[in-house]
Amino acid sequence: MDWSSSGQGYSVALPENLQSGKWNGYRLARPPMKLVSRFEVHPEIGTLHDNFVYAYANFQDYKYLGTRIEVDGIVREYKWMTYGEAGTTHSAIGSGLKYNRIPVGSSIGLYFSNRPKWLIVDHSCSAYSYTSIPLYDTLGPDDVKFIANRSLTEAMLTHGNLIANAVCEFLRDNSKLMDDMTVRPTVFCSVPRLYL
């Protein structure tokens, strides 16, 4: 059933007032008072990974993740990644983790600002049976160190402008820093690199 054309909408406010003010909690319109694990139209989709696999198989050429780049103070048009490109990248990242002998079930630190790469790496962790551990600069170095060590992080994926923040300073000796999945020299010579 196409809920949008039925006038029903995709979500409804919960009857209980979860907080004061104009913001309510929302839940799926059908059924609003019960959690669902499968949808009638696609019972084979039960997880976010299943959903991504379905989208990758059926919508490879469709736009998936967009980023607007700022050049000389001017925000440019969106640059889009398709489901097909995201699927290929997600497979390469997961394969790189396997190639580097990161054991299945390991915790993988995702040290990114919010960006499409974060989501793709998270998809890879899900697909290859790793646990993703979100880490952000805003947590501060002490909290990042605590979380990375407490979660027994085996590898950390990041991007270039965060490496300068001394990511390795708080990692255990057996950790691996994987920078943007590209071949680049590193200022942290003792840290193994991921080459794809």
For residue 95 the two structure tokens come to 């394969």
pLDDT confidence of residue 11: 78
Q: For the segment 102-130, what is each residue's pLDDT rounded down to a tens digit? A: 899 999 888 887 788 889 989 999 999 99
Q: For the segment 33-83, what is each residue's pLDDT rounded down to a tens digit? A: 677 778 788 899 988 899 999 999 999 999 999 988 888 989 889 899 999
Confidence category of residue 192, pLDDT binned at 50, 70, 90: very low
pLDDT confidence of residue 8: 59
57 backbone dihedrals φ, ψ, rounded to 5° = -70, -30
157 backbone dihedrals φ, ψ, rounded to 5° = -105, 140
The model's pTM = 0.69
**Torsion angle, alpha carbons of 186, 152, 154, 102, to 10:** 180
CA distance 21 to 130: 39
Domains and CATH numbers, the chain: 1-36 (no CATH), 43-196 (3.40.50.12780)
CA distance 108 to 136: 14
